[in-house]
Structure 1
Amino acid sequence: MKIILNSIAFKLRYITLSMFLILSAGLVFGQQQLYTYHSGVIEVSGFTNNYNWKMKTDSVDCRAQLTMINRQLKAINSLSFTVPVKKLSSPNTYMDRIAHRTLKSYPFDKIYFHYVKSEISPWDDKDQYLIKASGNLTVAGVTHSIKMDLIATVINDGTITFAGTHKLKLSTYQVTPKKSLMGTLKTSDDVTVNFVVGVKPLMLSATSKR
């Protein structure tokens, strides 16, 4: 009987030690956590021969899978942005309609970015990181690989913000800038995209909606 009890005690100690090692490994190597869109804004700007224009939206679908260790960003496993073209707007509704047609909102009603790879390094603040990212950007149904720098900031409440700027030419995506006002108003081929997008851990997002 004593031998049996000793054997059971040994097995329990073995199981406890194994669980401890597994949990410790999880803390050391980090865990992949799913994140979803929390808040933010995407701004698209350019210029014509008469004035500068700017459109923006907070209707963004952002999803990410990140590896965090002790609140430090260690890896981006996946990251994607989706922006509905017709949600981009400005105070000038006439120019908005021209812009939507220019971007071929029908049939290509969304702009997509899909992350491929990156290099992550600490930035100015201990909770900030410089991300040299590569990915695929799809505009008007045409996809090209791009590179851009992002600044990621880890907030105390568990949210993470991504901020960045990307310059592109519409012609790269087979988009021809429209002329308006009987051809007197001409839009430049150059466009700048600025964005600040915040994401929350999926479990935190679900809890906040209750």
Structure 2
Amino acid sequence: MAQSHFKIGTSKINEMKISGTSTFHDWTMKTAVFSGKATFNTGAENQITKLSAIAFNLPVLTLKSGQKKLDKNAYKALRTDQFKEILYKQVSAEVMSVNNSKFHIKTAGKLTIAGVTKDAVIDLYCFINKDGSISCDGNYPINMSDYNVTAPIFMGGVMKTGDAIKLEFSFLFEKS
């Protein structure tokens, strides 16, 4: 069993996005600008046997929706003047199952948004690529109010965003 250290590379598949609803339409903010690292243990036949560590940091101001007012209100709600990043750091992980060479890994860790840190259980779905890199994707539902984030309101209160949002991600980890 080999233990290897990885970092999120510069692949075009790397993406993080936050999506939610509003009284008018659904919205999405996304970025390819973030960093992260992981330590995987691998066995024979391209098996992930353990995830020893994973962490990522997302600079909030890199999230873009394509609508400047939405971005501005989201940054204000996330208090980016004080808190520049969304952070996740794994505390434990368990390889749950394998289906067609895709590994389901349940991670438990600490997610920090707008300066508030909460326990988070995030499911990863990973596979080992032919070049030895590891691709992972997943999502995590969040209530903004759990992190003391007030859902943004636009146009004098006519448009309101919902409290529930979803953090979605695709990472390509390359050996570091």
Q: Could you say which TM-score interval applies, normalised by the shorter chain?
A: over 0.9
> Who is 2:166 aligned against?
192
Q: 1:48 maps to which residue?
A: 22
Tell me the TM-score normalized by structure 1.
0.79
- Of 68-77 and 111-120, the range deviating more from structure 2: 68-77
Instruction: Give the secondary structure class of the aligned counterpart of 2:50.
Output: strand
Structure with greater strand percent: 2
State how far apart, in whole Å, the 1-side matches of 2:49 and 2:79 are: 38
Cα pair 2:51 2:94 within 8 Å, conserved = no
Cα displacement (A) at 1:123 = 2.2
Structure 1 stretches of 5 or more lacking a match?
1-29, 203-210
Question: Which residue number corresponds to residue 73 of structure 2?
Answer: 98
- Larger helix percent: 1
**Secondary structure in 1 matching 2:99:** coil
Q: Following superposition of structure 1 onto structure 2, how do residues 16-31 of structure 1 map, counting pairs within 5 Å?
A: 30-31=1-2
Secondary structure at the residue paired with 1:106?
A: coil
Aligned residue pair count: 172
1:32 alignment partner in structure 2: 3
The alignment yields a C-alpha RMSD, in angstroms, of: 1.1
Equivalent-residue separation in structure 2 for 1:201 and 1:148 (angstroms) = 22
Percentage identity across paired residues of the two chains: 27
Q: Does 1:138 align with 2:112?
A: yes
Q: Whose relative contact order is higher, 1 or 2, with alpha carbons under 8 Å and at least 6 apart? A: 2
* TM-score where L is the length of structure 2: 0.94
Where does structure 1 differ by over 6 angstroms across 4 or more consecutive aligned residues?
none
Q: Secondary structure at the match of 2:157?
A: coil
Q: Which moved more, 1:62-71 or 1:189-198?
A: 62-71
Q: Per-residue deviation at 1:90?
A: 1.3
